[in-house]
Chain A
Amino acid sequence: DIVMTQSPDSLAVSLGERATINCKSSQSVLFSSNNKNYLAWYQQKPGQPPKLLIYWASTRQSGVPDRFSGSGSGTDFTLTINSLQAEDVAVYYCQQYSTTPRYTFGQGTKLEIK
């Protein structure tokens, strides 16, 4: 199975500043046939289910604010949250879906306000 490793495990960022979360996969999730990275990001607020934020590594799900962006390719990916808002406090997970159905998630990154 592909292992997804996120860094850091937790971070604290001031309101209005930028938060950056990294995700590394143990093997490439890029399909050369369509040049797509099979990588998604989810946000989970306390007491709520996960919410899909980004898929194909950089495509925002409908309704997701544009301060959230995803980048990277192959094995290294980044979720960036610009102008951090109080409502962005959550745990963020990356997920690979390139080896369906053996989906695997990162261990999560807890984002707090400094």
Chain B
Amino acid sequence: EVQLVESGGGLVKPGGSLRLSCAASGFTFSTYSMNWVRQAPGKGLEWVSSINIGSTYIYYADSVKGRFTISRDNAKNSLYLQMNSLRAEDTAVYYCARGDGDYTPFDYWGQGILVTVSS
């Protein structure tokens, strides 16, 4: 069974940093691209970042470029999102989601982890 479990969320002050992790199991992690998608409270879905299987192609939404860094460790079956210079508007549930390569939808999602940026 495919499982994606996010961790590392919480309350952080504006300007602070947080590192999210996503532990994957039930599939060969190293053969799938991975993504982060967020959802602000009561709002819709926003793609945040994507990384391919070899970490050679990495992309960010304009809203987080220069502040967030996506990475993965295929040996540990884990995906990460380092979030710096956090703003109130970054407050959201963050989901990790699996993609079957380029030009494919997200077929499995984690349960999500809440990040709250507030003083």
Interface residues of A, dominant DSSP: loop
- Closest chain-A Cβ to B105's Cβ sits at a distance in Å of 4
A-B CB pair tally, cutoff 8 Å: 58
Of the candidate stretches B39-47, B73-81, B84-92, the one touching chain A is B39-47
Roughly how many angstroms separate A98 CA and B105 CA in the complex, as a whole number? 10
Interface string of B90-119 (1 = CB under 8 A from A): 000001000000111111111110000000
A93 near B103: Cβ-Cβ < 8 Å: no
- 8 Å CB interface, A40-96 against B: 40, 42, 44, 48-52, 55, 61, 93, 95
Roughly how many angstroms separate A91 CA and B38 CA in the complex, as a whole number? 15
Interface size range of chain A in the complex: 20 to 34
A38 near B109: Cβ-Cβ < 8 Å: no
Roughly how many angstroms separate A114 CA and B2 CA in the complex, as a whole number? 35
Chain B residues bordering chain A, tally (CB within 8 A):
22
Q: Which residue of B lies closest to A55 (CB)?
A: B105
Given A93-B44, A105-B45: A49 and B112 interface contact (C-beta under 8 Å): yes
- Closest chain-B Cβ to A108's Cβ sits at a distance in Å of 5
- Closest chain-B Cβ to A48's Cβ sits at a distance in Å of 8
Chain A residues with Cβ below 8 Å from B46 are 105
Would you call A7 an interface residue if the criterion is a C-beta within 8 Å of the partner chain's C-beta atoms?
A: no
B110 near A49: Cβ-Cβ < 8 Å: yes
Contact of A50 among B59, B103, B104, B109 (CB under 8 A): B109
Chain A residues with Cβ below 8 Å from B45 are 42, 44, 50, 93, 95, 105, 108
